[in-house]
């Protein structure tokens, strides 16, 4: 699972960030579905919702540790849903880590206007975390 999910999410994340960066300037927004979904280019120098701005070395370190721990855990566990959830989290963490390492910030662009702007990697982390919680709860029953 890891060899399919991680490369696919990473490719999709980096491709969409590349396209948006080439088509928009920072702060520029174009509607996809007027009033619902816009593409807005943001350079996020913090964590979720822009907190802890300017702490790039901290984020690189914590992301690197998280990636290593997830990879170790994936090797040990063979449950499908659990592996899928960790693969999504790993892909998202790697996608944002790549941005921080090479750009010094994370490229965000998905804008629902009622939530902070985010990206594919953030979505993978969120979906993975929800699935991970479900997987853990399911395994305890």
Active site positions, annotated: 108, 122
- Over its C-alpha atoms, the chain yields an Rg (Å, rounded) of 16
Distances (CA, A) of 26 to 6, 41, 72, 109, 129: 28, 5, 37, 10, 29
Collapsing DSSP to helix, strand or coil, 12 comes out as helix
* 19 within 8 A of 100, measured Cβ to Cβ: no
């Amino acid at each position: 699972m890891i060899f399919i999910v991680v490369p696919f999410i990473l490719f999709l994340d980096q491709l969409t960030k590349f396209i948006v960066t080439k088509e928009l300037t920072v702060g520029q927004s174009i509607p996809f579905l007027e009033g619902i979904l816009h593409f807005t280019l943001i350079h996020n120098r913090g964590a979720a919702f822009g907190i802890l701005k300017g702490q790039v070395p901290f984020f690189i370190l914590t992301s690197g540790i998280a990636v290593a721990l997830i990879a170790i855990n994936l090797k040990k566990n063979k449950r499908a849903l659990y592996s899928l959830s960790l693969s999504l989290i790993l892909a998202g963490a790697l996608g944002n880590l790549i941005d921080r390492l090479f750009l010094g910030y994370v490229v965000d662009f998905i804008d629902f206007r009622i939530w902070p702007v985010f990206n594919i990697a953030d979505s993978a982390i969120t979906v993975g975390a929800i699935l991970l919680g479900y997987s853990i709860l399911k395994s305890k029953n």
